[in-house]
Each structure stands twice: as C-alpha cells, then as structure tokens.
Amino acid sequence: MNKQITSFDRNFFDSEYDFTFIGKGSFGGKAQGLAQIRDVLAENIRQDEFPGIEIKIPRLTVITTNIFDIFMKMNDLYEIAYSNERDDIIIHKFLNTDLPIELTGDLRALIEKVRTPLAVRSSSLLEDSMYEPFAGIYGTKMIPNNQHDPGTRFKKLTEAIKFVYATTFTKEAKDYIKAVGKDIRDEKMAVIIQEILGQPYSDRFYPIIAGVARSYNFYPAGKSKPEDGVVDLAIGLGKTVVDGGICWSYSPAKPKVQPPFGSINDMLKNTQKEYWAVYMGQIKNYNPLKETEYMLKYNLSDAEYDGTLNFVASTYDASSDRVNPGTYNPGPRIINFAPILSLNVFPLNKLILRVLKICEEKFKTAVEIEFALTLDKKKCTPVKFGFLQVRPMVVSNEKVEILDEDFTSNEKLLSSKYVLGNGTNKKIKDIVFVKPKVFNAKDTPEITSELERINNVLLEEKKPYLLIGFGRWGSSDPWLGIPVNWSQISGSKVIVESLLPNMNVDLSQGSHFFHNITSFQIFYFSLPLRDEYKIDWDWLNSQKTINELQFVKHIELNKPLLIKVDGTKGKGVILK
C-alpha cells in the first residue's frame, strides 16, 4: 500500500492510498499521531518478521479542521455551542444542520462504494497531547453502514459526523477544557472516518480481540516491574477495555503468569462475560443522540455460537478442578487468551512488545497503544493486527522517600502499596468521600450526581481536594464502581479507590478515564479489600463538615494533609 498521505480518493477501498484527507486544515491530535506512526511501523517491522500477520492502520480518511470551521459558521452554531444548554439540546441542534458542500460530494462517493461498518472518530486539536489528554472526552460513533439504500447510508454517516462535532461542546468537554486551563473557543474538531477491523457474525460485527497496551505499569504484580508494562485484552470491540470493563490483564514480560485470583471460582466470577459488537440488524429505536446507537452488548454464549472463542478462551473441567486452554470440551468458558499467551498459537505478545518499543522510541517516552485483531476462527492465521491509536504517557522521576514508620504512624490517614503518581502534595485541606455505611452499587448513579455538585462548588472556590470512593472510578458499568466522567471530579488532586465486600473488583487500569488521571499527574491510591492498611474513618467523621448529602460528605481540615507518593515503588501515604 502506498505510504503517501494524499487528498481523498473517491474509490476509498480500491485506492492505493489508505490514509487520505478532505479539507485543508489540521488533522487533529489523534489522526496526526496515526500519521506519524504509520511510516515508523512500516519502516521498522519487516514483512517476514511476523509471518501470517498483517500489521496495518485500518484504512481511513480525515475531515480536517477547516471543514469544521465552515460547518460552524454556515449553520450559525457558535452561540448555542458556547451556551450552557443541555447536551441533548446542543446535539439535536447540530443534527438539524447541513454539512458543507465541500464535504458532501466526497461523502456520497465514499458511501456509494463502501458497505462495511465504519467508525466515525474525534480528532480535535487538543487530543492526545501529553499533559492535557482528552482520551474518551469526545464522541465516537460506530455505524453498520449496511443499509441497501445509499441515501440511508449517507444520512447515517452525516449524522455520525455531526454528532462528533457536537461532542466538542458537551458539558463534559467544556468542564474538561476549563479544568486544563484552556478556552473552548480555541478548540477545533477534525473527524476520522475509518473502517472497523472486524468480521460479520450473524447480525453482529466485531474483532475477535481488542486491547490496550502500556509500556509502563503503575500496578505491577508479583515479580513484574513497572517498566515491564501491562496489556489489557477483551473479546469484541475495544469499548470493553477503554471504558473500564472486565478484561484480561497481564504483564507482557510474563505473558503466561495469570492475575492473582484467589481461586478458580474467583476467576470464573471476575473474567469477561459480555462483549460489545456493532449491531447489523434493523434498529428499532432510532436515537442519533446516543453514542452507542448501533452497538449492543452480547453474552459469551453468542460468541460461542459464532465460533470466536476458540483461541481466546479456556474451559473449566469440574471433574479435575482444572482450567484447560481452548474450547474442545464442554464446561464454563473463561476468557483468558491462554491458547495465544500460553500455547503461543501466534506471537501476539511478541508483536505487542515490538510495537510498544517502536512507539516509545518515536515519542521518547512511555506510551499507550490501542489495537484490534481479526483471525481465522478455525486455523488462527491469517491474522490482521489493526493499530488504532498511540498516546504518550507521563511518568515522573522525582525522588520521594517514604519511611517504614510512615505506614504505621498514628498520624496516618491511609496508605497503600498500590499507588500511581510520584511526588508530594502539602496543599489539600478539603476531603470528599462516599460514606461507606450507606454505599451500595445500585446507588452509584446518584452518588455520581452528588459528587458533581460538590466538585462544582470546590472548582468555583479553587480548592483542590482528596476524593475517596469505592470500586473503579470512571467505570461505564455502575456495578463495578462509580461511573463518573472526568469533568465530574475534575477538582480532585488525589483520588482513593477502596473496596468493600459488596464492591470487590480488580484495580483500575484499562480505561480512557484512567489515562487522563495519570496524564494529569493525579495521585491515585488503590486499597484492596484484604489489605493490611485501612482508612481512618473515625478521624474523617470527626472533622468539620462542610456539606453532607445522602451518599457523599465534604469535610474541611484545620491544616493541610501531607501526601507522599513514591512512583518507583508504587507506594504512598497520606498523613494527617
């Protein structure tokens, strides 16, 4: 394939060019990152290095930022875009507009030729910069693009583009831009239209594997080191991984070492049970305001029917009380990718390590990549490895000393050996915490709302705060944690993720939310359920109450906390 980046070719899939653009402005951060890395990958990975594996950035075209400028002006959208109207009102207004004539001709030509699912992705000017990341803040829309009538396909594509444009101005985006000290008026949106890497199965379309890999691991387990990195894998679309759902995490330095489950029963309960796919059937509920309008969650029984579990699952044999790689025998399936990671039916881990190293050398820092794979469900190869995104990571090298006596001090509020970040903070006097005695997973949406109310007050008062809660912060699944987005807790400078018997899940690490936390250099403490170090709840409840709601309490201290985090050892302490 021609490595040149050129203006849009209306043949799209038949063109020799797999990276094109429409317009004359910027590509935006996400597309620019892909443009930078595509040639680097081609130059550094020989065609014979991974036989049977095609490594590529799925074919795409970028609608540049000058088209966004024309669209905004011709439809007189700036007033409502900068207003405080509800998200649904803003999105609806954007959807009831026309796209520039400079764009529609090319889109009609594209849609005449293409009948496979497409991802319409954001690529704003500010996305994927190192210290001000916008991972997951703006919209992506997956469309099936399989309707018989090209006019209908064109309508769905244009709706998706206008939806992504509108997400530039949602409340979450505005709050986020404000939190990083930027002005919403300086933001512009490019849009990526990209083929979705996957295969059709009945009325669903999905890749067999999606994943996120990081070259630095903030939570190394066992004998793993931070610089060994970490990989999160899931079956289906990558939404499971990036939204903090249940997936399989492992160290690429030790791919055969399993996560530290307490038992096989624990593994059965805490591995992937559902997956996302593009729904290819007749949509019953038309809702262009919804990001997942054309996506559905499916159970593993559907994947079993599709035959896509062969190389990603193992089977529990109750008679021997063992977990065996593969799906040859009946029994409960466990998505642990053992045929690939343990039996090495194809060298996925070797490829991930190679790509991470190439990206690190290009960006001269630790990196995070997103990818998806299709493979022959019977023979495994040929494999298509789709490279979807690369972001730089922030890893601090400041030296911080934490003494053993800090962990046992009477002045300790809490401590952990599972902490990310690095440095000290002596400025926080405000603490916001979810009340443990009334916490229940069913109430997490209401808890999110209360946290946002308190966060907005503290942001106005310019008071940084310590935040304490339960389960995975930012999870899209309210039964795994508190489903906040970043804007709802953007005033927090230290975040604590604790666990309770009724909320005992794996530590966070796979989500867009989590990437933003690390890049903002927020200290993040995780406290496992059976950890020896506990939170001093009695002391917290004895402090001055500023605001107490049904589920959340805000207190203020007489003097600032002393917060120390040693990133080299992954431990930290908060002293009263």
Task: Give CA–CA dist 339/327, Å, rounded.
Answer: 10
* CA torsion, ordered 461, 83, 516, 44, to nearest 10 deg: -150
Question: Is the N-terminal amide bond of 392 cis, ω within 30° of 0?
Answer: no
Residues contacting 325, CB < 8 A, separation 6+: 314, 338, 339, 342, 343
Which of the listed CATH numbers 3.30.1490, 1.20.120, 3.30.70, 3.20.20 matches domain 6-30+60-196?
3.30.1490
**Alpha helix locations (H) across 420-485?**
444-460
Q: Tell me if domain 6-30+60-196 and domain 198-280+291-395 are identical in fold.
A: no
Q: Could you write out the DSSP letters of every residue in 248-294? A: EEEBTTBTTPPP--SSHHHHHHSS--EEEEEE-S--SS--TT-TTTT
The rounded average pLDDT for each run of 10 residues, N- to C-terminus, in the chain (576 residues) is: 66 75 91 89 90 93 96 97 95 96 92 92 75 68 94 96 96 80 88 96 96 85 83 94 85 90 86 96 85 94 95 94 93 95 94 96 91 93 93 77 85 89 90 94 93 93 93 80 84 89 60 61 83 86 96 96 87 93
**What are the Cα distances from residue 398, in Å, to 346, 401, 424?**
40, 10, 9
In the block, which residue shows the tokens 């490595």?
3
Q: Which of 561, 549, 557 is nearest to 451 (CA)?
A: 549
Q: Is the pTM of this model over 0.85?
A: no
What residue segments make up the domains of the chain, in order of their start? 6-30+60-196, 198-280+291-395, 404-575
Q: Which residues does residue 469 pair with via DSSP β-bridges, in sequence order? A: 497
What superfamily would CATH give domain 198-280+291-395?
Answer: ATP-grasp fold, B domain (3.30.470.20)
